């Protein structure tokens, strides 16, 4: 396909799938593909997969001028090191950009997937024209990306935005990071499980009856559906969840002095059932100043956030910091 | 006094005193003065005081080329608004820079005092050559300044760095900000009072006996002195204090991905008695990655931090952002 417009490839590497999209400068996706990496998650296997997809799309779209890649782990942009990726066990201390640059003859930018999502929302989504905001993705954990002064803030080694591990209960639940009382133990799907367990025996009986499942089998999605038919226990759990979400947001407000939050991830499906308690509890832990200023917005890029963010990273960001800015 | 070197005035406006210093580009203080503002804390009164001091020093040092002023409250640098200053009740929504610029014919930069302190440590002190760090001042509350990518990060309205209000106990102590469970209720002089109150009856009796004071009269300084003679209860209180200090630091590490902290303020007098538990508890709430990387440093500018920071702000910072950068 011949087009005069410059195009960009956005790649979203997950723990099970590789998504890739051909994206225009204005954020339109011309074509996208998803392929499984389940059969081979080794570095060589995934790199081979990425390379084949890029080559095939480049043949079809020769005006592709750069490639952005989001990786599911903590990545040091300056040193080009992916420290680790929880769902890709082989990928430890990997120089992702260097390895791919040997195979792909286009400029490549790599960053953490939540950062890519934040960049995507900043250029094409709910964070458009907002100079300072925190992106939160609510899933198994809480992912985060900090847009400060219009750019991703990476911190010393790419660890900035690990907001899922800000401490909300100093002596609370153990977390996979080695710490305890981390925010994501209370305000992500981990938290849903916990708050369900903390229901009274009577409440447990009621919700298990309604769901027609064991307590441990109730997913956030089911809990959202139960809330939408006004199940008391489901609404209660979302209220507790929302309160905890609000506490962490308050901490982010107080530390960063930002008033905009863009919230995505699977759990935002239940938005209507937690967002009021989130807002209320966030405001109850911050200066009154924020009462009229705090804006909690739903992320707007949905499942394409990864692709669009990775493409945005190469097509619109500051060329000084991003070698392939064009 | 005639000198060819360009000089800068650094002014530190507090709740009771006005400090002003003549500072060289390398951070040497040629002269400093402290005057009381107790008798007149009105805007007009303080402005008159500042103007007189500046004029007098300018006559003596005609190579003074700019003035930096740190104010004890939340200040919006872009809009030039001091929202409020807890210890200067008249100063609400004051356009400090505009008012002073009418009186003083030198370029003026105004910022929050903790930010000035952070800038001072960055250019002349413990934060030298450190691109990302958090300055903490431990006093009645916890002041904070964020140096990110080598510059102060202000957030949307100058509220960034209000780290004293990050939440460490969601249902904890009420705070003056309107919230509850704020960090500074546990890891500043407020916290010392609280942890003393939480001692057992026996412990209380012991420490009161040693201090020869009522429990409520024991100051952080006395508690430091008691710890230095190995008083068990004092050491215990510092341990609890240190743990709470560590929790907030962990949150800052996880949010910002920074590994350097510069800690000052009156309470750092007792450094040796809390810093080990601070470090240990911070590390127990973060990735193992930080074990060898976390650096908790004592601020090095002491009582001159305000003057030096305010001077640094006008003498060395980015001229693009600071009109009087020279």
B323 sits in the region (left: phi over 0; alpha: psi -120 to 50; else beta) called alpha
A266 touches chain B (CB under 8 A): no
Q: Are B43 and B94 in contact (CB under 8 A)?
A: yes
A167 touches chain B (CB under 8 A): yes
pLDDT band at A6 (very low <50, low <70, confident <90, very high): confident
From residue A129, how far is each of A121, B26, B77 by CA, in Å? 10, 39, 20
pLDDT band at B316 (very low <50, low <70, confident <90, very high): low
DSSP B140: S
Mark which residues 219-238 of A lie under 8 Å from B by CB: none
A176 touches chain B (CB under 8 A): no
| CB-closest option in B158, B248, B256 to A160 | B256
pLDDT at residue number B175: 93
What average pLDDT does this structure show over A28-46? Answer: 95
Interface test with B, best of A167, A288, A292 (most B CBs within 10 A): A167
Length of chain B: 326
Is a pLDDT exceeding 50 seen at residue A118?
A: yes
A251 touches chain B (CB under 8 A): yes
* Residue A135 to chain B, least CA–CA distance (Å): 12
* Residue B251 to chain A, least CA–CA distance (Å): 4
* Residue B158 to chain A, least CA–CA distance (Å): 7
Residues of B within 8 A of A163 (CB-CB) are: 254-255
Is a pLDDT exceeding 50 seen at residue B57?
A: yes
- pLDDT digits over B283-315, tens only? 999 999 999 999 999 999 999 999 999 999 887
Q: Are B247 and A170 inside 8 Å of each other by CB? A: yes
CA triplet A295, A301, A307: central angle to 5 degrees? Answer: 135
Q: Is the ipTM, as predicted for this complex, more than 0.85? A: yes
- pLDDT digits over A151-181, tens only? 999 999 999 999 999 999 999 999 988 899 9
Report the C-alpha dihedral over residues A77, A83, A88, A89, rounded to 10 degrees: 170
pTM, full prediction:
0.94
Interface test with B, best of A148, A156, A157 (most B CBs within 10 A): A156
- pLDDT digits over A241-254, tens only? 999 999 999 999 99
Query: Hey, what are B64's tokens?
Result: 């003074």
* CA-based nearest residue to B322, from B153, B152, B109, B150: B109
Residues of B within 8 A of A252 (CB-CB) are: 255
Measured CA to CA, the distance from residue A118 to residue A141 in angstroms comes to: 16
- The DSSP bridge pattern shows strands B92-94 and B81-84 to be antiparallel
Q: Are B250 and A178 inside 8 Å of each other by CB? A: no
Nearest CA in chain A to B182: A285
* Residue A156 to chain B, least CA–CA distance (Å): 5
Measured CA to CA, the distance from residue B222 to residue B230 in angstroms comes to: 13
Residues of B within 8 A of A168 (CB-CB) are: 167, 170
| CB-closest option in B154, B168, B289 to A170 | B168
Helix ranges (H only) for A84-188 are 96-103, 113-124
Residues of A within 8 A of B83 (CB-CB) are: 289
Number of Cβ within a 10 Å radius of residue A106: 16
Residues of A within 8 A of B182 (CB-CB) are: 254, 285
Is a pLDDT exceeding 80 seen at residue A1?
A: no
Mapped onto helix, strand or coil, the DSSP state of residue A114 is helix
Q: Are B162 and A247 inside 8 Å of each other by CB? A: no
Mark which residues 20-49 of A lie under 8 Å from B by CB: none
Measured CA to CA, the distance from residue B118 to residue B129 in angstroms comes to: 13
* CA-based nearest residue to B138, from B80, B73, B221: B221
Q: Are B287 and A178 inside 8 Å of each other by CB? A: yes
* b/e burial code for range A13-30 (CB count within 10 A of at least 16 → b): bbeeebbbbbbbbebeeb
Mapped onto helix, strand or coil, the DSSP state of residue B187 is coil
From residue B140, how far is each of A30, A80, B158, B192, B308 by CA, in Å? 58, 43, 21, 10, 22
Nearest CA in chain B to A254: B162
Q: Are A243 and A228 in contact (CB under 8 A)?
A: no
Measured CA to CA, the distance from residue B295 to residue B309 in angstroms comes to: 21
- pLDDT digits over B73-111, tens only? 999 999 999 999 988 999 999 999 999 999 999 999 999
Across chain B, what does the average pLDDT equal? 93
Q: From edge to edge, which strands make up the β-sheet containing A142-148?
A: A151-152, A142-148, A133-138, A260-264, A295-298
Q: Are B138 and B267 in contact (CB under 8 A)?
A: yes
Which DSSP string do the residues of A175-228 spell out, in sequence order?
Answer: -TTS-BSBGGGTSSHHHHHHHHHTS-HHHHHHHHHHHTS-GGG--HHHHHHHHH
Q: Are B10 and B30 in contact (CB under 8 A)?
A: no
A153 touches chain B (CB under 8 A): yes
Would you call A288 exposed, middle or buried from its count of C-beta atoms within 10 A (0-12, 13-18, 19+)?
exposed
Q: Are A83 and B289 inside 8 Å of each other by CB? A: yes
What average pLDDT does this structure show over A264-268? Answer: 95
Q: Are B287 and A154 inside 8 Å of each other by CB? A: no
| CB-closest option in A166, A257, A287 to B156 | A257
- HSE-CB at A210 with a 13 A cutoff on CA atoms is 20
Which DSSP string do the residues of B63-128 spell out, in sequence order?
Answer: TEEEEEEEESSEEETTTTEEEE-TT-TT-EEE-HHHHHHHH--S-EEEEEHHHHHHHHHHHHSTTT
- pLDDT digits over B260-285, tens only? 999 999 999 999 999 999 999 999 99
Query: Residue A142: beta bridge partners?
Result: A138
Measured CA to CA, the distance from residue B122 to residue A305 in angstroms comes to: 37
Q: Are A159 and A74 in contact (CB under 8 A)?
A: yes
Is a pLDDT exceeding 60 seen at residue B152?
A: yes
B198 contacts: CB under 8 Å, gap ≥ 6: B240
Mark which residues 269-308 of A lie under 8 Å from B by CB: 284-289, 293
A180 touches chain B (CB under 8 A): yes
């Amino acid at each position: 396909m011949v087009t005069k417009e410059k195009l960009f490839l956005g790649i979203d590497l997950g723990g099970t799938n590789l998504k890739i999209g051909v994206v225009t400068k204005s954020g339109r996706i011309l074509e996208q593909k998803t392929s499984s990496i389940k059969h081979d998650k080794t570095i060589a296997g995934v790199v081979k997969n990425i390379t084949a997809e890029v080559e095939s799309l480049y043949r079809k779209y020769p005006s592709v001028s750069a490639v952005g890649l989001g990786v599911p782990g903590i990545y040091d942009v300056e040193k080009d090191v992916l420290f680790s990726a929880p769902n890709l066990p082989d990928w430890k201390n990997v120089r992702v950009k260097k390895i791919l640059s040997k195979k792909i003859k286009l400029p490549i930018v790599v960053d953490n997937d939540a950062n890519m999502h934040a960049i995507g929302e900043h250029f094409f989504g709910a964070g458009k024209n907002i100079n300072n905001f925190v992106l939160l993705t609510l899933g198994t954990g809480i992912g985060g990306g900090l847009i400060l002064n219009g750019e991703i803030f990476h911190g010393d080694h790419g660890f900035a935005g690990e907001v899922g591990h800000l401490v909300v209960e100093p002596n609370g639940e153990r977390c996979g990071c080695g710490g305890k009382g981390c925010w994501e133990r209370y305000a992500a799907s981990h938290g849903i499980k916990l708050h369900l367990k903390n229901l009274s025996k009577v409440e447990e009986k009621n919700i298990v009856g309604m769901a027609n499942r064991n307590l441990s089998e109730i997913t956030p999605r089911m809990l959202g559906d139960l809330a939408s038919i006004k199940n008391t226990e489901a609404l209660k759990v979302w209220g507790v969840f929302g309160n905890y979400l609000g506490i962490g947001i308050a901490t982010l407000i107080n530390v960063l002095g930002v008033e905009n939050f863009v919230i995505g991830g699977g759990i935002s499906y239940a938005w209507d059932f937690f967002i009021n308690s989130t807002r209320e509890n966030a405001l109850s832990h911050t200066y009154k100043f924020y009462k009229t200023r705090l804006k909690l917005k739903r992320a707007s890029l949905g499942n394409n956030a990864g692709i669009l963010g990775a493409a945005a990273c190469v097509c619109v960001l500051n060329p000084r910091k991003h070698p392939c800015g064009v």
